[in-house]
Each structure stands twice: as C-alpha cells, then as structure tokens.
Structure 1
C-alpha cells in the first residue's frame, strides 16, 4: 500500500510571509517563483525581503500561463530544465499551484506552496487537474508532486476577495458528499474509514463555522472561525484524498463540474462554485429527499454559493447542448466512482432537477 497523506509541513499564521526565508532555506539558497500575475505581485516584496535577510536568491519570477494546461507545464519545464536552482515556489490559486506541482515533478525539484487564496486543496494534494489552453477540463494528472512545505499567510488570504473563500467552502463540502458515496464501492479498512471520518468532521466544521468565516472576511477580521475554515479548505480537505486514495475519490459532483466547463460562459464561475451546484445534482441523482437538498441550498444562501445554472452564467441550453453535457460528463473518470452506473440521461435529469429546485428557491428568496 502506498499513501500520500499531504504536504510535508504546513504553517499558517498572520504575517508568515515575512519569515518565508527561514522555512525555505532548508531546501537550498536559490529559488524560482511560479504563479499568477497578481499573486506574484502580492508576495514579491515581503518574499524578497525575507530572502535577503536569510541569504537566499530569487532567480526568476515566472507567470504560470493562466491555465493548468500541458502547454504551460511544458513551457515552464523548457524554461527551467537548463537552469541551476534549488527549489520551486508556487504562488496563487489552484491552477497556478497545480501547474507548478507538475513542473516540479518533471524537474524533480523540491516544492514550496504559498496559496494566496483559500479556494481549493491544491496545496495539499499530489495530483494536477489538467485543462485545455481554453479552460476546458481534460483529466486528472498524476505526474505531479505534493509540496514539501505549505506556507499560508492569513493576512494575504484575508486581503483576497471573499468570493474565493466561498468557492473554497463549496469545493470542500464535496469531500463529504462525494466520499460517502464513492466509499460504497470500497472494502472498509483503517485508512479509508479514517478518510470518511475526516470528511464528516469537515462537513460539520463548514456548516458550523462557514457563515462566520465569510462574515470575518467581509469585516476583514482574522477570527478563529476564519482560521479554521482556511485550514479546512487548504489542508484538511486534501488529507481526505490522501487517506482515502482510490477508495475516496471525487464523484458525480466533480464530474458534473467538469462537464459544465464545456460551456465558455461558465468559465467566469469559480471551481468550487460549480462543484457546489454539482453536489446538488449528485444528490438528485442519488434520489435524496428534496427537503434535504433545500436545507443544503439554505446554507448556500447563507454563505453565497450558487445553486442555479443562471447564477453561473448559463441562461439556457439547447437540446444538443444538454445531450453534449450528458455524454461528456459520463466520460469523466470521477463519475466511475459512483456506486452505480450513470447514463447521460441520468446526468441531464439530475442537473435539470437541481436547477429546478434551486430556481424555485431563488424566486422565493427574491
């Protein structure tokens, strides 16, 4: 048995970036930064200052390319394979971190992740979600590495738009709904039962503290609830996949997310926001009582997650588009983790039903 539980070390504190050099220097004295344009701009000053104080050199600061695509990974590998440096630093959100994780894997370099938003668990997982250069989901890449070190500066997370945290809540909610579904196909053992227990605790934490964490972001206050939700999204969520392995993988919610990315109008909606809607569709697919789905939507309303196609920019699909959605979604490997065979018609019916329930509640709330 082989299990990658999560990153080697995880540190989270307000102002942590000013001490980044202290942590990073154990990997060497020269580094390359890979990340988003805004993320690199945000961390550049304090990172370079800390490097200077600790005798480190930042040799390059490179844009990851905008999409976690093979094109961008190959470009970075080509840029860096003949360079002499000790460690790669990844900064940004999920796509930037995944691109750097795949690059570090190919170059066989230590990796330090500095998430600048709390929107996914990308900093704590050894996989890379691959997209086309246009942003359409392609596959889950395994030629990726989990970071040796994750540094989370609460002040940086707090300064980001609150919508990222909300998206992170949506993505993390899926750990419970997908894990308790996909594990039905597995033989119970100590490790996968630990994964489902963590997923259940994650769900309880999100329900109990999610709304307060969002309020903290809006108020620009680093509260206990916000810190807990940041840790839940970035670190604990990733450990569910780590312990669960192939027994506790993403399921229909993420498959539906991937299927919906064929529509360009949804590309302005964040990953976790789309996954949150995918949870509702998965529940419909499983035959969950409508009142239970409505209870979850009430929570979405409290934290600000979308629960209709319209809220995600999809204002109507043609018959051909519905057919394409169903046919593509069942080919996504996540869907194979469902404990029953899923057909394109089942996908279409579930998405329509979730959208119908959500639209009715949207009308009522307005």
Structure 2
C-alpha cells in the first residue's frame, strides 16, 4: 500500500510571501520560478527580494506555456536539465502547478508551490492533468510529484478575481459527490472511510461558509471564512484522494467536465465551473431526486456557479455533437470510477436532464 497525502508542508497566512525565503532556503541556494505571466508578475518582485535576503538566487523566471501539456512539460525539462537549479518554484493556478509537478518529477527536484488563486487542489495532489495545447483533456499523468512546500498568501488569493474562488468551490464540491460514488466499488478500509468522512466535512464547510468567503473577496477583506475556504479548496480536498487513493477518485462529474472540453466555446469557462455542472449531470445518472438537484442549484445561484450549458457558452448542439460528447465521456478514466457501467446514451440523457432542470430555475437576470 502506498499513500501520498498532500504536500509535506502547507503554510497559509496573510503576507506569507514576504517570508518565502525563510522557508525556501532549506531546499538550496538556487531556484527557478515557473508560472503564468500574470502570476509571476504578482509575486516575483517580493519573492526575489525575500529569496535574496536569505541567500537564495532566483536564476530563471519562465512561462509554463499556457496549458498543462506534454509539449510544455518536455520543453521546460529540456530548458532546465543542464542548469544548476536546486529548487523549482511554481506560481499560478492548477494548470501551471500540474505542469511543474511533472517537471519536478522528471528533474528530481524539490518543488515549492505558491498559488495565486484558490481554484483547485492541484497543490495538494501528486498527479498531473494533461491537456492538448488547445485545452482538450487527454488524461491523468502519474509521473508527477506532491510538493515539498505550499505557501499560500491569503491576501494574494483575496486580490484575485472572485470568479476563481467560485470555481474552486465548484471543483471542491465534487469531492463529496464523486467520492461517495467511487467508494461504493471498494472494500471498506480505515483509509477510504476516513476519506469519505473528510469529503462530507468539505461539503458541509462549503455549504455553510462558501457564500461568506465569496463576499470576503468582493468586499476585499481577509476573513476567517475566506481562509477556511482557501484551506478547504487547496489542501483539505486534496487529502480526500490522498487518504482514499484509488478507492476515492474523481468520477462522473469530472468525466463530464473532460467530455465537455471537446467544445472550444467552453474553454472560456473555468475548470471548477464546468465540474459544478458535471455534478448535476452525475446526480442525474444516479437517478437523484429533482428536489436535491434544485437545492444544490439554489446554492450555485447564491455563489455564482453555472448550472446550464448556455451559461458555459454551449448552445444548439447538433445530434452529431451530442453523440460525440457521449462517446468521448465514457472513455474518460474518471467515468470508470462510477459504481455502475455508463453508456454514451446515459451521459447524453443525464446532461440533457441537468440542463433542463437548470434552465427551469434560471432567473431573468441569469438569462441575460
């Protein structure tokens, strides 16, 4: 049995970026920063200053490439392979983090993650989600590593557009719905039952304080509720798959997310937003009562998550497109974690039904 439960160390505080060198110096004297253009712009000045104060030289600042793709991973490995770099630092969102987790694995280097948004649990998992350079889902890469250190500056998260936090809540909600589905195929153990208990708490936390955390970002105040949701999205949710392993994996909601990425128009919608809709479709596949779906949609409305295809830019799918969606979605690895066999027809029916229920709850403002 092998269990990887999140990063070796997680530190979350307001202003922690100013102290980054205190922690990163333990991994060596030379570093490379990799991330998105925006995220590097946000942290690089403060990071470079803090590293310098503690005797660490930031020798490179590199763009990760825009997608968590094999091409970008290979390029970064080639660029850094001959360099005298002791530690890799990645900043940004899930795709940047996933890219550099794979690079760090290949180069066998310590990895420090400094998220600038709380939109996924990528910083707390040892896997990389691979996409094409155009953003279409390919699969899960396990030649990846969990970080040695995650530094989360809650003020930086607060300053990011609120839509990122909302998407993070959507992605994290799926932990409960997918874990309780996937674990049905497993023999109960101390580990997978612990994972289920954590997933249930994650769900309750988001229901109880998700709206308050979103309000914190909108009003630009770092509150306990915001920091609790940040920890839930980035760290606690990752421990579900950490403890649960293959028994508690992503399932129908993420498979439907991956299937929907075949449509270019959805690429402007964030991962967690699409996953949130995927939860509704998964519940339809499980024959969940409409009242439960409507209750969940009401929560989506409170915090601003999409619950129809149109809200994600998808309109007027042809019969051929529906067929392709169903056929591709059932080939996604996540779908095999459902406790029953899923056919393309089941996917199409579930997505249509979720969309129908969602459209029935649209308000006039949401239609606009």
Q: TM-score range by the shorter chain?
A: over 0.9
Measure how far apart 1:55 and its partner are. Answer: 1.0
Note the C-alpha offset of 1:168: 0.2
Secondary structure class of the residue paired with 1:118: coil
- The residue number in structure 1 matching 2:4 is 4
Q: What per-residue deviation string (whole Å, max 9, x for no partner) do you get for residues 198-252 of structure 1?
A: 0000000000000000000000001110000000000000000100100000000
Distance 1:141 1:316 in 2: 33
Is residue 104 of structure 1 aligned with residue 104 of structure 2? yes
Residue 178 of structure 1 is matched in structure 2 by 178
- Residue in 2 aligned with 1:327? 327
Match of 1:41 in 2: 41
**1:103: how far off?**
0.3
Shift of 1:119: 0.1
Q: How does 1:1-366 map to 2 (within 5 A)?
A: 1-363=1-363
Cα offset for 1:363? 4.3
Q: Secondary structure at the match of 2:208?
A: helix
CA shift digits 1:126-158 (9 cap, x unpaired): 000000010000001101000000000011101
- How many Å apart are 1:51 and its aligned residue? 1.1
The alignment covers a number of residue pairs equal to 366
CA separation in 2, counterparts of 1:311 and 1:69? Answer: 27
3-state DSSP class of the match of 1:187?
coil
Deviation, 1:67, is 0.2
What SS is found at the alignment partner of 2:250?
Answer: coil
Secondary structure at the counterpart of residue 84 of structure 2: coil
Structure 1 segments of 4+ aligned residues over 6 angstroms from their partners: none
Tell me the CA shift for residue 283 of structure 1: 0.2
Aligned equivalents of 1:197, 1:177: Cα separation in 2: 12
Give the TM-score normalised by structure 1. Answer: 0.99
Cα drift, residue 320 of structure 1: 0.2
Task: Give the CA deviation at 1:316.
Answer: 1.5
Q: Distance in 1 between matches of 2:257 and 2:242?
A: 21
Deviation at 1:68, TM superposition (A): 0.1
Unmatched segments (≥5 aa) in structure 1: none
Unaligned runs of 5+ in 2: none
Q: Deviations over 1:248-293 (max 9, x none)?
A: 0000000000000000000000000000000000000000000100
Q: Secondary structure at the match of 1:315?
A: coil
- Residue 4 of structure 1 and its aligned partner are, at CA, apart by 0.1
CA distance in structure 2 between the aligned counterparts of 1:269 and 1:329, rounded to whole angstroms:
18
> Partners of 1:87 and 1:98 in 2: how far apart?
16
Counterpart CA distance in 1 for 2:239 and 2:339 is 22
